Amino acid sequence: MLSKILYILFLIVLLLASVYLTRVLLKKYKINRWIVGGSAPLVLIIPSLLFNNINPIIWNILSIIFSVMCIMFFEITRIKLENNEIKGIINYKKTK
C-alpha cells in the first residue's frame, strides 16, 4: 500500500517538476516543440538498439527523461495556444 502511495506521489512530483522546468526553459530559450517531441522516443530507442542488456536503473532514468520530454512537448503546445502563437481547434481568449 505504501509503495503505491509513493509511486503516485512520485508521478505527481514528476508532472509538476516537468511543467515548472518547461516554464523556466521557455523564459530563457525559444524551444522548438517538434524537436523535443521528435527526440523524446529516441531517448529510449537508441540505447535499446545499441546495447543488448541495459541496467534497470539506467532504463528507469531514461524512462523518466522520456516522460519529462513528452510533458514538455504538450506544455509548450499549451503555452503557444494560450499566447495565440499557433492555431488550435479552440480559440483561447483571456478574460480579465
Q: What is the pLDDT of residue 70?
A: 96
Report residue 87's pLDDT band, with 50, 70 and 90 as the boundaries: confident
Q: Which residues contact 26 (CB under 8 A, 6 or more apart)?
A: 76, 79
Higher pLDDT, 3 or 83: 3
With a threshold of 0.85, does the pTM exceed it? no
Please check whether residue 80 is in contact with residue 33, taking contact to mean a CB–CB distance below 8 angstroms. yes
- What average pLDDT score do residues 78-94 get? 77
As a whole number, mean pLDDT of residues 64-80 equals 94
What's the pLDDT band for 76 if we cut at 50, 70, 90?
Answer: very high
